[in-house]
Amino acid sequence: MKGNVELIIDGKRLDGRKPLEMREVEMKVNVVRNADGSAYVRFGKTIAIAAVYGPTILLPKHLQEDKLLVKVRYSMLPFSVDERKSPGHDRRSIELSKVIKNALAPAIMLDEYPRAVLKVYVEIIQADGSTRVTGTNAASLALAMAGVPMKDLVTACSVGKINDTIVLDLNGIEDNNSQADMAFAMMPSKNRVTLWQMDGQLTKEEIKKMIKIASDACKKLYDMQKKAIRGAFK
Amino acid sequence: MMIEEYVREVLNKGRRIDGRRFDEYRKIIVEKDIIEKAEGSARVKLGNTEVIAGVKLNVLKPFPDTPEEGVLIVNAEFLPIAHEEYEPGPPGEDEIELARVVDRAIRESKAIKLEELCIEPSEKVWGVFIDITVINDDGNLMDAACLAATAALEVTKIPKYEEDKIIRGEYQGKLPLRAKPVIVTVAKYGRRFLVDLKKEEEEIIDTKVSIGVFDGKVCAIQKQGQGYISLRDIETILELALRKSQELKKVI
């Protein structure tokens, strides 16, 4: 049963973190040579590589719209998890691709590229919880590196409830045994929330508290993203 | 184009095209047990939106990590009869998202007592298959789908199971339940928040948040669409969803 596994002992999580502590975060840009923009983001053992191709003209013509079409594909590689995941697009990855697209789209100036398509790929190289938010951070960096006009970066993290305690940045075992987990992304400079998902059981007050924790964490991650981009132009 | 401008114009004046208040649902009609062949079923009409949910039970092998629990599977199909833009074929991202959010609301509220659905540990458990089919789409499929699923579960019976065979049409009892989750989808238009969008309103409003509620608690959240909400909107959305969930619970 969910929620019965001991995940916090003497105030410390199994990997030694305090409840509101992130795992080690690493961010790099320009990691895929061929792509117009790319990035690598690591949250502890969760590793995502994102690459962007485009904008290019959308064909066939009848699919063209008066604004940029953003296509996102999220996928977890076969070797990224304990039991081999068969390759290809399952129901989970179809939903997550859509959710990530909806997290990124509000930040992109879609009207600048009518009749065009932008392809965003998020590959989870290794999965240890919080893969969609790690991937969203990478995708946002890749978009910026591709020179896509954006209103802001998109920054994401996860919050959850384990052993009746609210925690930041769930790892795999915490995710699998959580009482609730929430994925969250925002455009930090204007406090605009672009991704918000939750499953589990929470009261309104708990949700408010978790949103505060997540948005504070996003602001720190935002600084790291900006630093990663600046580093590429030194 | 003409319709879209009209819908915007009306909303900007603080009204809706069918005269409802921003926080008002259309008329909701719930009919249960409409399909005799199914172990449970319900039809929900939200204005002109119509959804049928059917529940079938099968015996299957449990997942290795939950050897003594029944299995819940939720699937959704937008039938080609439901809207001119729907085509037959494999499920698209909207169908998958709808099914997965309804699945979450039911699973996370622990609506079904899955732990009572074990026949033989590690070998045989009941699988509860909820198939949600959209008959006519006039907007707000998410809330209608969850209502239909929850209403269908309310009347679901477990078939008799003797000598490794399911005896269809004969029952051993009701499906054990503990919660009645509902989903309230709140949409944002400018500074206003609306519930129960009609199709024409959905065409111009692209920011929605679906909130799953049971017993005054939240069991699922899904922000949808290519827009954003502000941090300070979160409380307003939660309060509206919690308030409207009371009404939805009553119609099931």
Task: Determine whether the interchain pair B218/A186 forms a contact, defined as Cβ–Cβ distance below 8 Å.
Answer: no
Task: Determine whether the interchain pair A194/B223 forms a contact, defined as Cβ–Cβ distance below 8 Å.
Answer: yes
Residue B214, pLDDT score: 97
Contacts of B96 in chain A (CB under 8 A): 91, 94-95
- Integer Cα distance of A135 and A101 in angstroms: 11
B189 contacts B205 by C-beta, under 8 angstroms = yes
**pLDDT, average across residues A30-38:** 98
**Structural domain count, chain A:** 1
> A54: which residues sit within 8 A by CB, 6+ positions away?
A36, A116, A117, A118, A119, A146
Residues of chain B with pLDDT under 70: 1
Q: Is residue B8 part of a domain?
A: no
Tell me whether A14 touches chain B (CB under 8 Å): no
- The token duo for A188 is 């930090």
Q: Is residue A85 part of a domain?
A: yes
Measure B104 CA to nearest chain A CA, in Å.
6
Expressed as residue numbers, the domain containing B161 is: 18-251
pLDDT digits (tens, 9 = 90+) for B13-34: 999 999 999 999 999 999 999 9
Task: Determine whether the interchain pair B218/A97 forms a contact, defined as Cβ–Cβ distance below 8 Å.
Answer: no
- Integer Cα distance of A137 and A124 in angstroms: 12
pLDDT digits (tens, 9 = 90+) for B113-122: 999 999 999 9
Q: Is residue A227 part of a domain?
A: yes
Q: Is residue A43 part of a domain?
A: yes
Overall residue count recorded for chain A in this entry: 234
Tell me whether A194 touches chain B (CB under 8 Å): yes
Q: Is residue B4 part of a domain?
A: no
Q: Is residue A2 part of a domain?
A: no
Residue A88, pLDDT score: 85
Contacts of A207 in chain B (CB under 8 A): 218, 221, 234, 238
Measure B11 CA to nearest chain A CA, in Å.
22
Residue A1: pLDDT above 60? Answer: no
Q: Is residue A88 part of a domain?
A: yes
Residue A163: pLDDT above 70? Answer: yes
The band of A8, judged by pLDDT with boundaries at 50, 70 and 90, is very high
pLDDT digits (tens, 9 = 90+) for A76-91: 999 999 999 999 899 9
When scoring A201, A209, A212, A216 by the number of chain B Cβ atoms within 10 A, the one with the most, hence best to mutate, is A201
Residue B56's domain is classified under what CATH number? 3.30.230.70
Residue A207's domain is classified under what CATH number? 3.30.230.70
Residue listed under structure tokens 């030694």: A16
Q: Is residue B10 part of a domain?
A: no
Q: Is residue B7 part of a domain?
A: no
Interface of B with A in 4-23 (CB under 8 A): none
Q: What b/e sequence results for B209-232 when a residue is b if at least 16 CB atoms lie within 10 Å of its CB, and e otherwise?
A: bbbbbbeebbbbbbbbbbbbbeee
CA-CA distances (angstroms) from residue B123 to B60, B63, B68, B69, B114?
A: 8, 9, 9, 11, 15
Task: Determine whether the interchain pair B223/A193 forms a contact, defined as Cβ–Cβ distance below 8 Å.
Answer: yes
| Residue in A1, A105, A197 closest to B221 by CB | A197
- Integer Cα distance of A9 and B50 in angstroms: 50
Residue B1, pLDDT score: 60
Residue listed under structure tokens 């129901």: A91
- Integer Cα distance of B165 and B62 in angstroms: 17
Q: Is residue A156 part of a domain?
A: yes
Output the average pLDDT for chain A.
96
Tell me whether A201 touches chain B (CB under 8 Å): yes
Tell me whether A120 touches chain B (CB under 8 Å): no
Q: Is residue B3 part of a domain?
A: no
**Structural domain count, chain B:** 1
Expressed as residue numbers, the domain containing A174 is: 17-232
Task: Determine whether the interchain pair B93/A91 forms a contact, defined as Cβ–Cβ distance below 8 Å.
Answer: no
Q: Is residue A4 part of a domain?
A: no
Q: Is residue A7 part of a domain?
A: no
Residue B55, pLDDT score: 98
